[in-house]
Each structure stands twice: as C-alpha cells, then as structure tokens.
Amino acid sequence: MSDVPPSSIPRHVAIIMDGNGRWAKRRHLPRAAGHKAGVEAVRKTVRAAKELGLEALTLYAFSSENWKRPEDEISDLMGLMKRFILSDLDKFAAEDVRLHIIGDYTAFKPDIVALIDDALARTAGNKATTLSVALNYGSQDELTRVTRGIARDVAAGSIVPDAITADTIAARLDTAGLPPLDLLIRTSGEQRLSNFLLWQCAYAEMYFTDLLWPDFDGGTLKAALDWFAMRDRRYGGR
C-alpha cells in the first residue's frame, strides 16, 4: 500500500461520503441498511488512511442541512453514530488516532454530546492520524460563527479591522490546527460541495468517483491518492 512517493502523499484528505441511500435502493433494502454499510466503509477507510500515512482525514457524516430528512432517518443515523463510537473508540485510543469534530455537535441529543466529549478527551493526546468528523457541519454556518466571533472582538476593541487577515479567519475555523486540505473526494457521482469546507477547498484537488459510499475502501482511497500524486499544484504560480 505504500508505492506512492512520500512527498506526493496528501497530508489532509476530506471525503463527502455520499450514496448510501442509492446503494440500498439498488439492493431493494431500506435506506438504514445503506447507512449501516456506510459505517463499514468508514472503518475500512480510516484503517487505510492510517496505513497510507495521512495526517488528517475529515469525513462529512451529517450536514447542517441533513436535518431536513425524515425523523426516522435522522434517528437511524444518530443510532449508528452512537454504536460506532461505543464499538470503535477503544481501537482509536489504542491505535493513536485522535478524534476531532467539525460542526456544532452540541445541537445533538445530550447522550451523544456526552459520548463525543468523552471520545475527544480519551484521544486528545494521540498523534498518528487525526480523524475529523463533520457533524451538523455546514461551511456557511462555520463562516457565520467565525464572522460573529471576529465582530465581537472588534466591538470589544481587542482586534482592529485592518489587522484581520486570511490567517485570522483560518485560525477560527473548525479545522484550525489541521493541515491544509490537499484532496477532496466525493463519491456517488455528484460533483458539488454541498456546503462542505468551502474556505478550505481553495487549493484542494477534487476527486469525484461514481462509486457509492458503501463500496468505498482502502483500495479506492489508494486509487484517489495515486491520481493526486499526478497533479501539478500551482497555487496561482507557474
């Protein structure tokens, strides 16, 4: 799994895990079965990310717009999330994986918030890979929260408007402290960002695959990394 030269390995990969519903539909199964299969793909992908030497993997698990879904689907997703944390936290803790959350997860039910807080505390000192999970995340919400914070500081006199730079904003994003985003992957054939990491995607390479999320695994992550290794990143230079 390691024939990609180290210099061309992305430090930070983010994935829009899309297509669970369509995966289930093709099999004449309920959507919940697609989400369940999606959790297996998460496990495989996290394992591969660590083996491939990624510093950070950010997974879009629940968007700030996903509250529009029917209550029973939301409750299926919450149940899966709970079970995933309960079943996999020991492994993350032992395997040096640090858990990080982007998005306002405090909007979830108190039992889930408590589970997440415990998972964050238990893995805070881990260093090998950061698994960042987007929960109730929307980029416009994130940037709105950042803007409010800066406006408050300006009003309080602790920062002057001319001192606000791109770094001021980056340091207040939910992704602060993570490496810059190198590669964005979206499954299921859709080619849109769906309010994910709008600021952070500025110079990310974009990889779209028709695979549905439950069919994604270490091999397909490796294929995306091989594609990434061929990119010529210019950042506006020449």
Catalytic residue positions? 18, 66
Neighbours of 25 (CB within 10 A): 15
**210 binds ligand IPE, rule: CB under 6 A:** no
CB under 6 A: which stretch of 16-24, 90-98, 102-110, 153-161 binds ligand IPE? 16-24
* Span from 15-23, 59-67, 115-123, 201-209 in contact with Mg ion (CB under 5 A): 15-23
CA dihedral 89, 122, 60, 31 (to 10 degrees): 30
Given candidates 13, 46, 48, 60, which one binds ligand IPE under the rule CB under 6 A?
60
Among positions 13, 20, 46, 185, the unique one binding ligand IPE when judged by CB under 6 A: 20
Q: How far is the CB of 73 from ligand IPE (least distance, A)?
A: 8
Which CB, 18 or 182, lies closer to Mg ion? 18
C-beta of 9 vs 76, nearer to ligand IPE? 76
From the CB of residue 172, how many other CB atoms can be counted at a distance below 10 Å? 17
Can you tell me which of 12, 18, 37, 137 binds Mg ion, judged by CB under 5 A?
18
Q: Is 31 in the site for Mg ion (CB under 5 A)?
A: no
Q: Is 190 a binder of ligand IPE (CB under 6 A)?
A: yes
Residues near ligand IPE (CB under 6 A) are 16-22, 60-63, 66, 77, 188, 190, 192, 194, 213
Residues near Mg ion (CB under 5 A) are 18
